[in-house]
Amino acid sequence: MTREKAQLKPGVLPPFQALIDAHWRDVARLARAMAGPVDGDDAAQRAWEKAYAAYPKLTSAKNLRSWLLTITARCATDVHRARKPQRPLDEAPPVAVEGPEATDFPDPELWRAVNQLPERQRFAVTLKYVGDLDHHGVAAALDTTPAASRRLVSDALATLRSKLGVDDD
């Protein structure tokens, strides 16, 4: 555990700067993974703005990291929604929503496959493995249940294994 994270005590709200110092890397990494390298910084900045506005109203310091990553995931989701056409679906031609470029990550083949997943599966697997959230945190970020979160992640992993030719053994 880093020195910054060790300073945060459960039950006591730290100064907001201490929260930033402890979690800025996690927020930036998740925003970039979900919104892409171009929009990731904007999504992270928006997440910090929302967190700062909501911080005085918090009554518990329990699981502040999950709280921040949930806000980050929602801000990244807003980026994707803003990219979609604003016309009724029956009139709109199909539009591919761009995610992060595969070459921006260590395993380009894997990230190409992740980018091809349906949006909710892509977000679920990113929150789980990039954001390092448990299924309760993923569920909170996606406004679903932990069981549905497990299913989304499981389906995403099955699709990725199939596309990449990876055995479950």
Q: What total of structural domains would you count in the chain?
A: 1
| CB contact at 8 A, 14 and 23 | no
Q: What is the CATH number of the domain that holds 158?
A: 1.20.140.160
Q: What region does 132 belong to: left with phi over 0, alpha with psi -120 to 50, or beta?
A: left
Assigned domain for 80 exists: yes
Assigned domain for 23 exists: yes
pLDDT tens digits for range 65-115: 989 999 999 998 888 777 765 555 455 455 444 555 545 556 778 878 888
Give long-range contacts, CB 8 A cutoff, 24+ apart: 95-100. Answer: 98/36, 99/34, 99/36, 100/32, 100/33, 100/34, 100/35, 100/36, 100/37, 100/40
Enclosing domain of residue 131: 10-87+100-164
Assigned domain for 126 exists: yes
Is the pLDDT at 46 greater than 90? The verdict is: yes
pLDDT tens digits for range 101-118: 545 556 778 878 888 888
Is the pLDDT at 127 greater than 80? The verdict is: yes
Assigned domain for 1 exists: no
Assigned domain for 94 exists: no
Assigned domain for 4 exists: no
The pLDDT score that the predictor gives to residue 5 is: 46
Assigned domain for 25 exists: yes
Is the pLDDT at 6 greater than 90? The verdict is: no
